[in-house]
Amino acid sequence: MKRVLPGFNLTLGYTLLYLSLIVLIPLTALVLKTFTLSWEQFWAAVASPRVLASYRLTFGAALLAALVNLAAGLLVAWVLVRYEFPGKKIVDALVDLPFALPTAVAGISLTALLAGNGWVGQWFEPWGIQLAFNRIGVVIALIFIGLPFVVRTVQPVLEDTERELEEAATCLGATRLQTFTRVLLPAILPALLTGFALAFARGIGEYGSVIFIAGNMPMVSEITPLIIVGKLEQYDYAGATAVAVVMLVFSFALLLVINALQAWQRQRAGMPA
Residue 22 belongs to some domain of the structure: no
Count how many residues are written for the chain. 273
- The answer to whether 110 and 185 have CB atoms below 8 angstroms apart is no
103-120 mean pLDDT: 88
32-68 pLDDT, tens digit each: 888 888 889 999 999 999 999 999 999 999 999 999 9
CA atoms within 13 A on the CB side of 121: 19
> How far apart are the C-alpha atoms of 40 and 83, rounded to whole Å?
59
Share of the chain above pLDDT 70, in %: 94
Q: Which residues of 210-244 are buried (b: 16+ CB within 10 A; e: fewer)?
A: bbbbbbbeeeebbbbbbbbebbeeeeeebbbbbbb
| Reduced 3-state DSSP string for 142-165 | HHHHHHHHHHHHHHHHHHHCCHHH
pTM score, whole prediction: 0.85
> How far apart are the C-alpha atoms of 172 and 22, rounded to whole Å?
53
CATH number of the domain where residue 264 is located: 1.10.3720.10
Residue 138 belongs to some domain of the structure: no
pLDDT band at 6 (very low <50, low <70, confident <90, very high): low
Question: Which domain does 56 fall in, by range?
Answer: 30-98+148-203+221-268
- The answer to whether 114 and 131 have CB atoms below 8 angstroms apart is yes
Residue 105 belongs to some domain of the structure: no
187-206 mean pLDDT: 87
Return the pLDDT at 273.
Answer: 47
161-190 mean pLDDT: 78
Number of compact structural domains in the chain: 1
Return the pLDDT at 269.
Answer: 58
Mean pLDDT over the full length of the chain: 85
> How far apart are the C-alpha atoms of 92 and 111, rounded to whole Å?
24
Residue 44 belongs to some domain of the structure: yes
Return the pLDDT at 216.
Answer: 85
Residue 40 belongs to some domain of the structure: yes
Phi/psi at 17 (nearest 5 deg)?
A: -65, -45
Q: How far is CA 30 from CA 16, 51, 200, 208, 254, in A?
A: 19, 18, 22, 22, 19
> How far apart are the C-alpha atoms of 137 and 209, rounded to whole Å?
10
Greatest C-alpha distance within the chain: 73
Residue 24 belongs to some domain of the structure: no
Q: Which residues of 141-150 are buried (b: 16+ CB within 10 A; e: fewer)?
A: bbbbbbbbbb
- Highest mean pLDDT: which of 12-16, 49-53, 128-132, 263-267? 49-53
The amino acid sitting at 217 is M
In this predicted structure, which of 24-28, 56-60, 98-102, 254-258 has the lowest mean pLDDT?
254-258
> How far apart are the C-alpha atoms of 160 and 170, rounded to whole Å?
19
